[in-house]
Amino acid sequence: MISQFLRKRTLTLCMILLTLALQAQDRFGGLALYTVRDDMSKNPAETLKAVAEAGYAYVEAAGYTDGKFYGMSPEDFKNTLKSVGLKPVSTHQGFETMDNIDQMIADVKAAGFKYFVIPVPPMGHFKSEDGKMSMSDDLEFLTNVINTVGEKCKAVGLELLYHNHDFEFVKNKDGIVPIEYFLEHTDPDTVNFEMDLFWVTKAGADPLAYFEKYPGRFKLWHVKDMDKEGKFAPVGTGKIDFSRILKEKDKSGMIYYYVEQDQTWGKNPLDVIKTSHKGLKKFGFN
């Protein structure tokens, strides 16, 4: 009887381990947690568990305030991610100043992230009026800030990236395309970029043209689709040809990518991210 019981327990354990292994094999890609920001503000631990169950393997944070990530210390946030099998890869760090940047970098490092991402032009140089985003024309100042932060990140083993919207791809009053100015006045050894494929498309630019002109500079991607009205859509339900872009991932320098959807138009974000994860497979992401 005892040996039969042990055989049954062993078989049950093997089945559990096999199930977990199969689930792990089907987990790939990353999620930008900005997509589920409302859920993260209410119950971050349960939300992260749901993100993992939706098939994602790693995340990008966007919820740092007063030295904490989603209300948790850097170490606690790192441990919470580990407990559900998610890897911390990058984090959007807004509101940087020269007064808080060193502490911010230390917290990003302590939370286990690899990439420190500047999400918009820092220090008051980002503008948003009536739903339209723009930036100041003081590109020299902004580039000096980005370079300084990049050097600080490198000193502690982090990598700095700048994340784009559409306005960086539009010529300013001086006839300069801001993203090109940033690319040409930063050192790839200390500063690189996260390309948001939706916003590049929104600006009427071609991601492949930038991969060709600035190879290796786009370490991370935001993979978000665009519907026929030009609004955010789940991956695979819109009009962006991600398979065309994905073919040039090596030229771009892409190492990690994230599903992101800024607005879900009344649909539950936790349902939308499942649709997008299925869409990733359609284009060959893995």
Count: domains in the chain: 1
**125 in a structural domain:** yes
Give the number of other Cβ atoms within 10 Å of residue 144's Cβ.
12
What are phi and psi for residue 32, nearest 5 degrees?
A: -80, 115
pTM above the 0.85 mark?
Answer: yes
**5 in a structural domain:** no
**23 in a structural domain:** no
Contact 157, 114 (CB under 8 A): no
196-255 pLDDT, tens per residue? 999 999 999 999 999 999 999 999 999 999 999 999 999 999 999 999 999 999 999 999
- CATH number, domain containing residue 67: 3.20.20.150
User: What spatial distance separates the first Cα and last Cα of the chain, rounded to whole Å?
Assistant: 46
- Position 24 scores a pLDDT of 53
CA distance 155 to 31: 27
Band the pLDDT of 129: cuts 50, 70, 90. Answer: confident
CA distance 198 to 232: 8
17-71 pLDDT, tens per residue? 444 444 555 899 999 999 999 999 999 999 999 999 999 999 999 999 999 999 9
**14 in a structural domain:** no
59-69 pLDDT, tens per residue? 999 999 999 99
Host domain of residue 225: 28-283
CA distance 281 to 286: 7
Cross-strand pairs, 132: 129
**7 in a structural domain:** no
User: Which pair of structure tokens corresponds to residue 84?
Assistant: 């559900």
The residue behind tokens 């990733």 is 280
CA distance 24 to 64: 28
**50 in a structural domain:** yes
**10 in a structural domain:** no
